[in-house]
Amino acid sequence: MKQSVSFTLNHQLITVDVDGDESLLTVIREYLDQTGTKYGCGLGDCGACTVIVDNELVRSCMLSIENVAEKEILTIEGLFSNGTLHPLQKAFVANGALQCGFCTPGMIMNAYGLLLRNPDPSREEIIAGMEENLCRCGSYNRIVDAIQTAALEMNQKIKS
C-alpha cells in the first residue's frame, strides 16, 4: 500500500508516494533520480550509500523511507551549490582521491559528517572516521589528504 512521505532533500521539500518498506536509498535513486548515492553491499557495511540525515551519518540502504518523514537529508548532489563544488569535492579532485568514482560519493558524505563532528581532525582521527567506508581502488592515503585539505579550506572560510 502506498503512503506519502515528506522530507527535505538537498534543501528542497519533497513528497513521494512510496511503499513504506522502501529504503531511503531506493527512493533517492529510483523515485527521485538522484543517482550519486550508490548501492554497494546492501548491508550498510561498505559506505557507498552514505547520506546525512539531520546532520548524522546514515547508511541509506538500511533506513526505511518512513523513518525519514519530516527530516532533512543531504546527498552528494546537495553539496554542489550555486555552480560551485563543495571544498570536499574540490579537494578529492585536486588530491586524486577518486579513481573509478564508485565509492567517492559515500566517502565524501562520510567525510562531511566527520567534519561536522570535528572540523579540525588529526590524520589519525580522519583514518578512524573513514574506516567504515570501503574503496576497492585503494585511494586511502589520497582520501585522507583530501579531507585534510578540505578541512583547512573550510576552517579558513569560517575564520574570515
Query: Any idea which of 14-23, 69-78, 102-111 has the lowest mean pLDDT?
Result: 14-23
Retrieve residue 69's grid coordinates.
518523514
CA 94, CA 51: separation in Å to the nearest integer? 23
The amino acid at 156: Q
The tens digit of pLDDT for each residue in 27-53 reads: 999 999 999 999 999 999 999 999 999
CATH assignment of 2-79? 3.10.20.30
**Per-residue pLDDT for 20 more than 80?**
no
pTM as predicted: 0.93
The tens digit of pLDDT for each residue in 108-144 reads: 999 999 999 999 999 999 999 999 998 888 788 999 9
For the chain, domain boundaries: 2-79, 87-159
CA 77, CA 63: separation in Å to the nearest integer? 19
* Domain 87-159 -> CATH class: mainly alpha
Q: What pLDDT is attached to residue 86?
A: 95
CA 60, CA 75: separation in Å to the nearest integer? 10
CA 36, CA 39: separation in Å to the nearest integer? 10
Nearest to 120 by CA among 80, 153, 75: 153
